[in-house]
Amino acid sequence: MNGVTGRMGYRQHLVRSILAIRDAGGLQLADGRRVVPEPILVGRNERKLADLAAQHGIERWTTDLDEALRDDSAPIYFDAQVTQAREKSIKAAIAAGKHIYTEKPTAESLEGALELARLAAEAGVKNGVVHDKLYLPGLVKLKRLIDGGFFGQILSVRGEFGYWVFEGDWQEAQRPSWNYRKEDGGGIVVDMFCHWSYVLENLFGRPEAVTAKAVTHIPTRIDEHGQPYPATADDAAYGIFELPGGVIAQINSSWAVRVYRDELVEFQVDGTEGSAVAGLRECKIQHRATTPKPVWNPDLPVTERFRDQWQVVPDNADLDNGFRAQWEQFLRHVLEDAPHAYDFLAGARGVQVAELGLQSSAEGRRIEIPEVTV
Ligand X SMILES: NC(=O)c1ccc[n+]([C@@H]2O[C@H](COP(=O)([O-])OP(=O)(O)OC[C@H]3O[C@@H](n4cnc5c(N)ncnc54)[C@H](O)[C@@H]3O)[C@@H](O)[C@H]2O)c1
* Exposure on the CB side of residue 349, measured as CA atoms within 13 A: 25
Given 8, 146, 280, 374, the residue binding ligand X (CB under 6 A): 8
124: left (phi over 0), alpha (psi -120 to 50) or beta: left
Decide: 198 and 251 in contact? Cβ < 8 Å.
no
The one among 9, 39, 168, 322 contacting ligand X by CB under 6 A: 9
Min. distance of Cβ 180 from ligand X in angstroms?
12
Residue 37 or 176: the one with the smaller Cβ distance to ligand X is: 176
- Is residue 6 involved in binding ligand X (CB under 6 A)? yes
Q: Is 44 in the site for ligand X (CB under 6 A)?
A: yes
Q: Is 43 helix (H, G, I), strand (E, B) or coil?
A: coil
Q: Work out the burial of residue 302: count CB atoms within 10 Å of its CB; fewer than 13 is exposed, 13-18 middle, 19 or more buried.
A: exposed
> What secondary structure letter does DSSP report for 47?
H
Least CB distance to ligand X at residue 351 (A)? 11
Task: Work out whether 159 is an interface residue with ligand X (CB under 6 A).
Answer: no
Binding status of residue 82 toward ligand X by CB under 6 A: yes
Q: Is 160 in the site for ligand X (CB under 6 A)?
A: no
Instruction: Say how far apart CA 258 and CA 251 lie, in whole Å.
Output: 16
Q: Rule CB under 6 A: is residue 201 a binding residue for ligand X?
A: no
Which of 17, 81, 253, 254 is close enough to bind ligand X by CB under 6 A?
81
Pick from 20, 27, 53, 85: which binds ligand X (CB under 6 A)?
Answer: 85
Contact 348, 114 (CB under 8 A): yes
Contacting residue, 115, 160, 191, 234, with ligand X by CB under 6 A:
191
Q: Does 374 bind ligand X (CB under 6 A)?
A: no
The DSSP secondary-structure symbol of 126 reads -
Give 29 or 280: the residue with its C-beta nearer to ligand X: 280
Using rule CB under 6 A, residue 106 touches ligand X: no
Question: What CA–CA distances, in Å, run from 372 to 172, 205, 236, 369?
Answer: 41, 15, 27, 9
Least distance to ligand X, CB of residue 310, Å: 27
- Check binding of 130 to ligand X (CB under 6 A): yes
Closest of 194, 208, 234 to residue 107, by C-alpha = 194
The residues of the shown chain that bind ligand X, judged by CB under 6 A, are 3, 5-9, 43-44, 80-83, 85, 103-104, 130, 132, 176, 191
